[in-house]
Every structure is written in C-alpha cells, then in structure tokens.
Structure 1
Amino acid sequence: MAEMAAEKPLERYMRILELISGFPDGISLSTLASALDLPKTTAHRLLKGLTDVGMIEPAPPAGGSYRLGTRFTNLLYAGADDGWIRAVSQPLLQELATATDQVCFIARLDGVAVRSIAMVAPDNPVRPYVMPGREIPLHTGASAKALLAFLDSDRRLALLPDPLPRLTTHTKTDLAEIEAEWAEIRRTGVAFCVGEDVEGFAGIAMPVRVEGKPIRYSLCLTGTIEGLLNGDRDGHTRHLAACADRLARLLAARLP
C-alpha cells in the first residue's frame, strides 16, 4: 500500500484504466481496490474522477462494477493505425472491386484533411487518382462529403477553404448548395461526386458507422461517370453499403 500511496496521481489513474481494460464486462470496486492494494474510499474517489470525465462508466446491470467508458474507447477507435486498417480491409476491398469492377478505397478524416488510406484498383486511368495518402478535396470528393456531412456545422465550415476552389465546370462553390447536399447525405447515407474534382470521373461513398463512435472513415467507389453512374448505379450502391457495414463490424470488434 505504501508503494501505491507514493505514486503520482496520474500513475494511479493509469493503473486503474489498465486493470479495468482487462474486464470488458466490468470489475467491482472491492475487487479493484484489493488488486491495487488501495482503501475502498481511495479507490472510490479515483473511480469517480475517471467516471466524471467519461474514461470509465458503470457496467450494467447497476451493482457497483465499472468498465471502460465512451471517451476511452473513442481514443482506441481514433487510434486505429492505417496499417491495421489496410490489413483488415484488404479482403473486403478486393471483394468490392471484383463485384463492381470499380476502384474502391477507404478514406479517413485526420484533423483538417481527408486522405485515402487503403485501396484496391484495377490497372486503369483511375488508379493514380486515389493512391493511398492522396488528400481528397473536401467540397468535391464523395469520400470527403460522406465524412463532413456528419460533423457539427461549425467544424464543417472551419475545415472548408475560403474561397472554395473551382476544380472543374461542375464544382459546387456556393455554400448554400453544399449545405443542402450535406443535408441530403445525412438523410440518405450516400454521397456522390459527379465530375466535380476531375472531369469525367465520379464517386459514390458511404460513411462507415460504428455505433456510439464519431464517423472517421468512409468507403468509396470511383470510376468514370459512364462506368460508375450510368451503368449499374443501384447495384454499385448496394455492394458499397454491404461492404461498409462489414467494415464497421470489424472496427467495432477492435473496441473493448
């Protein structure tokens, strides 16, 4: 107990989080206090502090047990590295590319930019357009639209460049028109780009929704307007939705 008492407060909190992370169904106050050799009153005070900031939460059913909280699991979700995403998504992207005969990729919102992080593509003119690491124009790319639409209004507007660059004759630069498109994306769950960043090319994208987590990833198909939208547009959208749902389940499985 003397060793634990001599620790810095932050170290106590970290040890509690490390212990709780091993009990996804929850650990009781008495068990935690015993494992860390703490008085129950001290353990309760530390647990209350972590609960107040959302790092842990009471585990159901109510009975004095605790598990990792939403704020902590959000950090785990946000910290999924690109290598892990590429590894787990490669089979899904391959299936999607085979089913649609289109380029498919995952985009990620990182701070102030949206970038492609994983891709499967046939050897065609679209390939360099979505190479991993490429930054997606926020007001034109379908994958970026599918992410920005679900941010709060102030953050969306703060991310957009001012003035909005016109990349093609089809680029939307009127903010009211863009806001209306974001509202439609929230209603339907599907974002489109029709020749807005590269003439003749299109994109269909969907957010990857993990329940209770902020939307940080989108899944996108891209190709020529003729091949992607004037062909089997409905079929492409169905395949995209099924793949986005499977990817969401993989991301959810990463969390405690």
Structure 2
Amino acid sequence: MKRSAAASAEPDRQSKPLERYVRILELLTAYPDGLLAGEIEQILNLPKTTVNRLLHALEASDLITANRKRGGRYFTGKRLNRVLYSETGWIEIATRRRLKELAETAHETCFITRRFQDRIESVAMESPDASVGIYVTPGHILPWHATASGKLLTAMARQLPPMEGLERFSDNTIIDPVELKNTLAEIRASGYAIERSEHVIGLGTVVVPIVCGSEPDIVYGLGLTGPEQRVMDRIEENIALLREAASHFAAILTIRRPVSAA
C-alpha cells in the first residue's frame, strides 16, 4: 500500500536543518528562564555536536543569546524578540483583570504603554470614564515628548531621539532641547513621569516603569490618567499605588508557559 505524499514527506521535514533551527526557536520561546544546551539536546533528541552547531549559528544571527552568568543558558535573542513582541493582543488579555482592579481602586483610567522600535504606544487600558480613556486606547501612538509614558520610556532608553522640530500641542508642551534633556534626567532620577496638559489640555497623567526580570531595557510603563487637578492633588498616593501594582504586571508580562516541543 502506497503512503500519501504528506506522510512520506514528514520524516524528511523533521530531518532538514531549517526545521531543526525552528524547533530550537520554538523551544526557547516557551521557556523564559532559558535552557542549557544539554537540556535542548534531551528535549529535541539531537546529538550534542548538532545542537552546538545550530546554537552557534542562531547566536551569530542574534536570534538567540547565551547568558554566561547563568551557566550558559540560552534565551531568545533581540532579533527574535522584535518579532515576538510586535503583536500586543496577548498583553490586553493577560492584564485585563488586574488593570480593571487597579482602575477601580484608583478611580481613574489605568493603562499600560510600551516602547517598540521608534514609537510609544498604548497596549492595554481599563477605564471608569470612557471620555478620558480615549487618549490611551490600545493602539494609540503617544508623542514621546508630550506624554508621561513617552517621556518615561524615552528617559529609560539607551539612546535619545532627535529633539528638533517637535510639535507643540499646548502652551505646556516642552519642545526646547535643553529643557527636555533636563526633564528626562529628572525622570531617570525619580523613577516616574508626570504630564500636565502637555498633550491634552486639562488632562493629568502619571506613569511608572514596569521592570521585567533581568531585561536591560525598560519598555513598559504603567500609568493612570484623569482630570489634571484631581490626579495631581493625589500625586503621591497615585505614584505609590502604581509602583505597588507594577511588580504584579511585571510578573504577568514575563510569563511564558512551557509547551510541548514535539
């Protein structure tokens, strides 16, 4: 009896080099704490020499990285992470319940933003007041120099963006390069950023960083926004509330459930 074309092609597919590279990448995305080369050999049932060759090739392409301080464990690399983190729907789903609880406690719109490539964007939001929440609706791009999220995540970045020709949204918008650099330095020192009618007149916002594990870059911010006077009257309380909640969101954003490699 003849085997189907699909069935006869399966062993060849599993043995091809490209398939082996893909299986290693799939495996590492499932284990946030990384894997040793020996563990990868065991899970994929491949020879040590083959695994070492594949790992070296993937590492040379920045698709994976090895942390020598953690016993040589392998993790997903910066090029692969750019692909993995380009989609944000999972963040909305994973953070919805806690974000809703935070919004109810603060009595303000609460949201998560992130820095991705050259933009700052809102990725999750829960609001008791839709008229305020519209400004941080998921998918909304935020000007880096005129919003609390933009200033915070820019301040935490390794390289600052150009500071010429920035748009003025209100009389409070900072567009002077020297003043902006000083503001970013103050944010790095204090660990939070505020916005007072700089982007939207009458709106006040405060944002703190979400520090995810051992990641060198801070790419997520947790904030709340509402009428400026109300937010600023409770600024210390709001900062404390956000800082306490940020650790819970950090745990959520770094979770990756192990899955079968088969």
Shorter-chain TM-score tier: 0.7 to 0.9
Give CA-to-partner distance per residue, 1:126-165, whole Å, 9 cap, x none: 2333222222121111011111111123xx324x5x4111
Counterpart CA distance in 2 for 1:22 and 1:248 is 17
Counterparts in 2 of 1:96 and 1:50: CA distance versus 1, 3 Å: same
Give the whole-Å Cα distance in 2 for the aligned partners of 1:16 and 1:128: 41
Task: Check whether the contact 1:121–1:127 (CA below 8 A) recurs between aligned residues.
Answer: yes
Structure 1: where are the runs of 5+ without partners? none
Equivalent position SS for 1:223: strand
Measure how far apart 1:20 and its partner are.
5.9
Structure 1 Cα separation of the partners of residues 191 and 204 of structure 2: 17
**How far apart are 1:110 and its partner, in Å?**
2.9
> Partner of 2:54 in structure 1?
46
1:204 and 2:203 equivalent? Answer: no
Normalised TM-score (structure 1): 0.80
1:113 is aligned to 119
Query: C-alpha displacement at 1:178, in angstroms?
Result: 0.7
What per-residue deviation string (whole Å, max 9, x for no partner) do you get for residues 98-134 of structure 1? Answer: 2211111111223332222211112364233322222
Consecutive unaligned residues in structure 2, runs of 5 or more: 1-10
CA RMSD of aligned residues (A): 3.3
**Counterpart amino acid of residue 126 in structure 1:** V
Q: Which amino acid aligns with 2:209?
A: P
1:142-195 deviation line (CA, Å, top 9, x unaligned): 011111111123xx324x5x4111111111110111111111111111001111
C-alpha spacing 1:20/1:133, structure 2 compared with 1 (3 Å) = closer
Aligned position for 1:71? 77
TM-score of the pair, normalised by structure 2: 0.78
User: How many equivalent pairs are there?
Assistant: 244
Describe how 1:1-256 pairs up with structure 2 within 5 A.
7=16, 9-18=17-26, 24-28=34-38, 31-32=41-42, 35-36=45-46, 38=47, 40-52=48-60, 55-57=64-66, 62=71, 67-69=73-75, 71=77, 75=81, 78-79=84-85, 81-123=87-129, 125-153=131-159, 156-158=160-162, 162-213=164-215, 214-229=217-232, 231-254=233-256
The alpha-carbon deviation at position 10 of structure 1 amounts to 3.8
Distance 1:120 1:5 in 2: 45
3-state SS of paired residue (1:179)? helix
